[in-house]
């Protein structure tokens, strides 16, 4: 339900942006064509290229980190301590909560990308209508660069979550679980 709500909020926001675009398009009159220096456009394209590259690098690192952390998580879960931990509480609950958190993060990412894309299209159209095609092109390049920067920041956030063992299992929790399980086993053996 949380994921559906996030996606619904994103869709509502996109619809309102489109409605706002139609409303403002009727109200805004065409203005004089602004002169944009070719250097400004080149710089903006360079920034866009840099942010796009940084997003690709961060996404590539994220996929590698997810594979490696999945390997270590699997090792922890299959270890003696991990098995004792899962005996204390249903493992399905832990895995479902981790999966749920990932689904919420993915929903936020999808909704955010849809809203950012629509915002870019709407803003570029309005700027082009008011100030001319060159200004619209610079606006588009700038918003694309901002979108790539946000994508990079989101990937870095996900990398930090993947690298942080607290986001999967707290080592102290595993140690306590193992100690409690060992104590219970010793108590059971001593009572025999």
Task: Tell me the per-residue pLDDT of 50-85, one tens digit each, with 9 for 90 and over.
Answer: 888 888 888 787 777 666 655 555 555 566 666 665
- DSSP per-residue string spanning 42-111: HHHHHHHHHHHHHHHHHHHHHHHHHHHHHHHHHHHHHSHHHHHHHHHS-HHHHHHHHHHHHHHHHHHHHH
Count how many residues are written for the chain. Answer: 192
Nearest to 62 by CA among 177, 191, 151, 168: 151
Tokens of 8: 């619904």
Q: Give pTM, 2 decimals.
A: 0.61
Task: Tell me the per-residue pLDDT of 154-173, one tens digit each, with 9 for 90 and over.
Answer: 878 777 776 654 544 555 55
Quote the DSSP letter at residue 21.
Answer: H
The phi, psi pair for 107, rounded to 5°, reads: -65, -40
C-alpha distances in angstroms, 185 versus 80, 124, 126? 13, 68, 71
Q: What is the pLDDT along the chain (192 residues), one digit of tens a residue?
A: 878 888 888 889 889 989 998 998 888 888 777 788 888 888 888 988 988 888 888 878 777 766 665 555 555 556 666 666 556 555 555 555 556 667 777 788 888 888 888 888 898 888 888 888 888 888 888 888 888 888 888 878 777 776 654 544 555 555 555 566 556 666 666 776
């Amino acid at each position: 339900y949380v994921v559906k709500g996030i996606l619904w909020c994103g869709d509502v926001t996109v619809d309102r942006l489109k409605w706002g675009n139609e409303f403002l398009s009727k109200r805004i009159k065409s203005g004089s064509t602004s002169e944009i220096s070719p250097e400004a456009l080149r710089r903006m394209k360079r920034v866009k290229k840099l942010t796009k590259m940084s997003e690709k690098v961060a996404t590539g690192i994220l996929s590698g980190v997810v594979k490696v952390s999945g390997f270590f998580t699997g090792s922890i879960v299959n270890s003696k301590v991990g098995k004792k931990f899962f005996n204390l509480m249903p493992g399905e609950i832990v895995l479902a909560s981790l999966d749920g958190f990932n689904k919420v993060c993915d929903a936020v990412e999808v909704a955010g990308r849809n809203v950012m894309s629509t915002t870019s299209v709407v803003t570029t159209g309005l700027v082009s209508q008011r100030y001319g095609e060159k200004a619209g092109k610079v606006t588009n390049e700038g918003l694309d660069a901002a979108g790539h920067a946000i994508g990079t920041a989101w990937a870095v956030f996900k990398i930090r979550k993947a690298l942080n063992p607290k986001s999967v299992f707290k080592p102290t929790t595993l140690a306590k679980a193992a100690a409690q399980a060992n104590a219970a086993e010793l108590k059971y053996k001593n009572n025999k």
